[in-house]
């Protein structure tokens, strides 16, 4: 009888450890931006190039040692104070740069955006620091995108 309990205990431990290991996810996607810095200073003049160009035209944006060249695939004025642009880069395997510009009530401008590609494990997110300077900060896209 005691041997049955020991066998049951061992089986329970084996099954629970297998279930625990099955919950761990590992990314099989490679990094696209591994050769670039984790933080790329970004000039507002470069961001404005995206909003000044028309859909279907090519735009080249320079961020420190990284340049993003692509075609503007979408340019929308959603509200009087919100503009959004999507740029697709064929040279980076159809990587998307989605950027929005919001004009605040006090007439200041805030930019938000991301450079992502669902086939790769990294990307960039546009953020503003406490000094009012913008930078593209490297992110792990698997924290943002869920596989279906």
**Tens digit of each residue's pLDDT (9 = 90 or more) over 75-103:** 998 888 899 999 999 889 999 999 999 99
Return left, alpha or beta for 94; rule: phi > 0 is left, psi -120 to 50 is alpha, else beta. Answer: left
Does 20 have pLDDT greater than 60? no
What is the chain's mean pLDDT, rounded? 84
Report, in this order, helix, strand and coil percent for the chain, each rounded to 5: 25, 45, 35
Name the residue with higher pLDDT: 17 or 79.
79
Residues near 5 by Cβ (< 8 Å), separated by ≥ 6? none
- The backbone torsions φ and ψ at residue 51, rounded to the nearest 5 degrees and listed phi first, read -85, -20
Could you tell me the two tokens for 86? 């999507």
pLDDT, position 29 = 79
Does 142 have pLDDT greater than 80? no
List the end-to-end C-alpha distance of the chain, in Å, as a whole number.
47
Name the residue with higher pLDDT: 56 or 28.
56
Question: How distant, in Å, are the alpha carbons of 10, 56, 65 from that of 5?
Answer: 9, 71, 64
Tens of pLDDT, residues 108-122: 999 999 999 988 999
Domain boundaries, the chain: 39-143
């Amino acid at each position: 009888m005691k041997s049955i309990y020991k066998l049951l205990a061992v089986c329970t431990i084996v099954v629970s450890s297998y279930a625990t290991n099955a919950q761990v996810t590992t990314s099989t996607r490679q990094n696209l931006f591994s050769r670039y810095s984790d933080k790329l200073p970004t000039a507002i003049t470069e961001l404005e190039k995206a909003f000044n160009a028309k859909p279907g035209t090519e735009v080249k944006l320079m961020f420190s040692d990284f340049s993003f060249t692509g075609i503007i695939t979408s340019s929308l004025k959603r509200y009087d104070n919100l503009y959004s642009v999507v740029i697709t880069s064929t040279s980076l395997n159809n990587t998307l740069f989605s950027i929005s510009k919001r004009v605040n009530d006090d007439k200041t401008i805030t930019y938000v955006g991301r450079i992502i590609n669902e086939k790769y494990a990294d990307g960039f997110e546009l953020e503003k620091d406490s000094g009012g300077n913008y930078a593209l900060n490297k992110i792990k896209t698997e924290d943002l995108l869920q596989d279906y």
